Chain A
Amino acid sequence: MNALAGSMSALIAQSAPSLASAADMLSTIGLYHYLVVACAMFALGVIGFLSRRNLIIMFLCTELMLQGASLALIAFSRYWFNHTGEVFVIFVLTVAAAEAAMALALVVLLYRKRETLDALAWSSMRG
């Protein structure tokens, strides 16, 4: 996943040559740092989702991925001095709140059916 984050940052560096040099990026907290944190959050979310089988943990991991993406949006928004990303994030948060309510309710229902939170208990779609 670090490789992924690295490749992403490399991608950004490539596509935006007008960004400040690497030394400047290390000396002050800039876009680069935010993006690294965002990628780390997203990567942790993906890893958590893939490795854990508890439904609640898996749900939390999806939230983590969502927050990572939101952080990246805000960072870009700040960088370009417009509010598009921030407005977008407000919408995302709103939807995520609604979604969280539903998802937790779903988890409760799923638990009632199988008396377990193991995701593998719900593998009846096997081909």
Chain B
Amino acid sequence: MIDVWRTTLGFTATLAQDAVHTGAGAVGAIPHGGGFFFLALLLPALSVVLCGVYAALGVKSKLPAWTTVVCLTLAFITILVGYIQLGPDSPRIAFGFHWFNLSWGSAPGQSLVADFALYIDGLSLLWMLFVTGLGALIALYSSEYMAGDKGYARYFAAFSLFVFTMSCLVLGDNLLFMFLGWEGVGLCSYLLIGHNYKKPSAVAAAKKAFIVNRIGDFGLIVGLMLTFVKFGALRYEDIFAQVDAMRASGVDIPMSIKVIPLLFMAGAFGKSAQLPLYVWLPDAMEGPTPVSALIHAATMVTAGVYLIARTMPLFTLNPDALATVAWVGGLTALFSATIGMAVFDIKRVMAYSTVSQLGYMFLGLGALSASGAAYHVFTHAFFKASLFLSCGAVMHGFAGQLDLRKLSGLAKLPGWRITAFTMLVGCLCLSGFPFTSGFFSKDMIIAEAFVTPGPGYQALGIIALITAGMTAYYAFRVFFRVFLGPVEFEPGEEYTPGEHAHDDHAVDDGQDTTAHASFHPHAPGVAINLVLTLLAIGALAAAAPYFMHKEHGGWVGAMTHGSTAAIAEESQTIFTAHTGAGAVEHVADEETLSILGMTVPHVAMYFISSGFAIVGLALAWVLHMTGRRSAASAPVADALKRALGPVGVWAEHKWYVDELYDWLLRKPLRVLAWIFAYIDMLFVDGLVSLAGVGPRILGWIIRPSQSGALQGYAAGMAAGMILFLLMLWVML
């Protein structure tokens, strides 16, 4: 089957080159093959082109949506077939063509080779499965959600472009190819946040996302260059072979190499919205909700996690980098959870919870549990997509209303049961309720944080546990306020009385339960309900892989163990070697470790973390359900907020971080810009003006000689002629 696909795609020509390439490659330990994986790149690219053509032709039907859904589904099937054919344990390189092949000498490091080739192993397959799978599902959801939008075809073109560039990022076999995808997803994120480009706040959010990402990307670019300078290669295969040799020989790692993971980390923190650079993600919620679900929750923001998991061998060279990753992740998780507890916009709550969950993933990476991090990425992709799309359904049905003080008891409205159910599933998974997918993945990370002998990791484990309780609280705060309680709602800002924007598929309930008698929310249609149901099932089923494989971490663990991230689990001793103290090794001998006297840390953590989750959930019930009579107020929660005084207000204002950045960075830059503007005006422009002033002064001096009298000019001519003749005479 593979051969048939290769032939049809014209990869036969490249197969011959494959042999040459393997011969030329110095390391070449990884077998080549799997050329049909290029289909997973070509199908989204085809969709981009088609949607672009539709946009140019002004197609008004749902054709762009169906094209995207079909192409992405086929891409998903390609990946699935590839997974079944190759399995997670056999990394392959699918060679396309030589992209960059420069050389300026024969010595090692005097050539720059970056092929258009795909690196296929468990890690990239895992990512590709949910990128294409969720991409197809969310495209289907968008087909209904975006209906009536003027930029329908444009939206799907950017959507497909995102899947294409994300596939480049994940599948690329070298750092340059990865970087192409990395910048590509940044561009798509910008385009999609600013989809509604006539809305100033959306444009501002798009710019903010792009610029903040740029700060991180600067680190990544420098890291990339430094990698090339130090290792003379950009292909993962070549770099990691050298890293392995370096580790095996036990030489001291020079500072210039130890810096590389720190630089990569900066890129990852930008893209994955971690602590100093997280500010763009909550604002990115200005984009259409499906975009928030796919790009800003499930896939793109996990690119940073992917980058660190992929380049894990480099990170093992510098234990401090891993500790930084863990600490930044843990603190981000806690910090953004505090904001998530206070804000009232339900989409923002989800955005801050995404930042918080990404923090968990980084904590997992830093705690040397790449499989835990990858598993959390996997489960999070499903349950967060489910949560976002449920919020999107609410927003769509209530004319853009997102304030949890203005929505209440939606579960009791007819046509909203499925949304309420999927929201409940999402919230349960997010809060790590026992036996949900989020429970197992979060548990792996927290347990690893406790048992990994890194600097202060015990404290990080406690932070992660507290955050887990807070997560349960803010998730169910939204659920209890919006879906339970008295039925009451107000339309959002998109509501115009007497007119229904997208009423064609509305299921009117006919109930007039509020003062807004003329407003009928319309319940989600078939496409939205179908996708929501599938995602909720996916979110629940994401717990199954945990038991699917005998290996630690289940199926996802098996996937990561067959990849470059496996080195994390194998090198648990790096912190021991680093600290030099008698810190314990674990991995195989987990018996030596215990939490609460239980010898298997994960089992112990099942009880502890479910305890925290249930406490958080109960707290949300007590604060937001007891004695609530209206949508706007929950007496207990309001009383608590008053008791907290300014702290609650600060948290609601996101701890004034945006204002702080404004004051620390934007204001000084603006002052600097003014200074430069005045220098330009006074000195640069001044010089140019001076050049103009000279001739004007000269003109002012000689102007009186022009009398305007005819005789005057004639006398001048005569005098000139006499002068000329005199000169002639003198000279001859």
Of residues A53, A58, A122, A125, which shows the largest number of chain B Cβ atoms within 10 Å of its Cβ?
Answer: A125
Q: How far is the CB of B699 from chain A (nearest CB, A)?
A: 9
B497 in the interface (beta carbon within 8 A): no
The answer to whether A124 and B714 touch across the interface, beta carbons within 8 angstroms, is no
In the complex, chain A residues whose CB is within 8 Å of the CB of B715: 50
A15 in the interface (beta carbon within 8 A): yes
The answer to whether A53 and B708 touch across the interface, beta carbons within 8 angstroms, is no
A28 in the interface (beta carbon within 8 A): no
Known: A7-B725, A7-B729. A125 touches B711 (CB 8 A): no
Interface residues of B (CB under 8 A from A): 703-711, 714-715, 718, 722, 725, 728-729, 732
20 residue pairs from A and B, CB less than 8 Å apart: A4-B725, A7-B725, A11-B728, A11-B729, A11-B732, A14-B732, A46-B718, A49-B714, A50-B711, A50-B715, A50-B718, A51-B711, A53-B711, A119-B711, A120-B709, A123-B709, A126-B706, A127-B704, A127-B706, A127-B707
- Which residues of A (1-54) have their CB < 8 Å from a CB of B? 4, 7-8, 11, 14-15, 46, 49-51, 53
Closest A-chain residue to B718, C-beta based? Answer: A46
In the complex, chain B residues whose CB is within 8 Å of the CB of A125: 706, 708
Q: How far is the CB of B27 from chain A (nearest CB, A)?
A: 84
* Given A7-B725, A46-B718, 4 more pairs with CB closer than 8 A: A4-B725, A50-B714, A123-B707, A126-B706
Complex: A88 Cα to B708 Cα, angstroms:
34
Closest A-chain residue to B715, C-beta based? Answer: A50
As a 0/1 sequence over residues 85 to 127 of chain A, the CB contacts with chain B under 8 angstroms (1 = contact) are: 0000000000000000000000000000000000110111111
| 6 closest Cβ pairs, A-B complex | A127-B706, A126-B708, A123-B708, A127-B703, A125-B708, A119-B710
Complex: A68 Cα to B572 Cα, angstroms:
115
Q: How far is the CB of B119 from chain A (nearest CB, A)?
A: 80
In the complex, chain A residues whose CB is within 8 Å of the CB of B706: 125-127
SS class, residues of chain B in contact with chain A: helix
Complex: A58 Cα to B709 Cα, angstroms:
13
Complex: A1 Cα to B237 Cα, angstroms:
101
In the complex, chain A residues whose CB is within 8 Å of the CB of B722: 4
The answer to whether B705 and A127 touch across the interface, beta carbons within 8 angstroms, is yes
In the complex, chain B residues whose CB is within 8 Å of the CB of A126: 706-709
Q: How far is the CB of A65 from chain B (nearest CB, A)?
A: 10
The answer to whether B708 and A127 touch across the interface, beta carbons within 8 angstroms, is yes
In the complex, chain B residues whose CB is within 8 Å of the CB of A119: 709-711
Q: How far is the CB of B711 from chain A (nearest CB, A)?
A: 6
The answer to whether B708 and A124 touch across the interface, beta carbons within 8 angstroms, is yes
SS class, residues of chain A in contact with chain B: helix
Complex: A120 Cα to B710 Cα, angstroms:
7
In the complex, chain A residues whose CB is within 8 Å of the CB of B732: 11, 14-15
Complex: A55 Cα to B465 Cα, angstroms:
109
Q: How far is the CB of A17 from chain B (nearest CB, A)?
A: 13
The answer to whether B710 and A58 touch across the interface, beta carbons within 8 angstroms, is yes
Complex: A8 Cα to B724 Cα, angstroms:
12
Closest B-chain residue to A62, C-beta based? Answer: B714
Complex: A58 Cα to B725 Cα, angstroms:
24
In the complex, chain B residues whose CB is within 8 Å of the CB of A53: 711
Q: How far is the CB of B721 from chain A (nearest CB, A)?
A: 9
Q: How far is the CB of A77 from chain B (nearest CB, A)?
A: 22
Q: How far is the CB of B708 from chain A (nearest CB, A)?
A: 3
Complex: A4 Cα to B725 Cα, angstroms:
9
Complex: A7 Cα to B704 Cα, angstroms:
33
Complex: A58 Cα to B713 Cα, angstroms:
13
In the complex, chain B residues whose CB is within 8 Å of the CB of A120: 709-710
Cross-interface CB contact of A122 among B705, B710, B718, cutoff 8 Å: B710
Complex: A4 Cα to B719 Cα, angstroms:
12
Closest B-chain residue to A127, C-beta based? Answer: B706
Complex: A41 Cα to B7 Cα, angstroms:
103
Complex: A123 Cα to B714 Cα, angstroms:
13
Cross-interface CB contact of B710 among A4, A15, A51, A123, cutoff 8 Å: A123
In the complex, chain A residues whose CB is within 8 Å of the CB of B709: 119-120, 123, 126
In the complex, chain A residues whose CB is within 8 Å of the CB of B705: 127
Closest B-chain residue to A55, C-beta based? Answer: B710
Q: How far is the CB of A56 from chain B (nearest CB, A)?
A: 13
Of residues B703, B711, B715, which shows the largest number of chain A Cβ atoms within 10 Å of its Cβ?
Answer: B711
Closest A-chain residue to B712, C-beta based? Answer: A123
- Which residues of A (49-79) have their CB < 8 Å from a CB of B? 49-51, 53, 58
In the complex, chain B residues whose CB is within 8 Å of the CB of A127: 703-708
Complex: A127 Cα to B707 Cα, angstroms:
6
Closest B-chain residue to A14, C-beta based? Answer: B732
Q: How far is the CB of B480 from chain A (nearest CB, A)?
A: 88
In the complex, chain B residues whose CB is within 8 Å of the CB of A8: 725
In the complex, chain B residues whose CB is within 8 Å of the CB of A58: 710
Q: How far is the CB of A15 from chain B (nearest CB, A)?
A: 7
Complex: A126 Cα to B710 Cα, angstroms:
10
In the complex, chain A residues whose CB is within 8 Å of the CB of B725: 4, 7-8
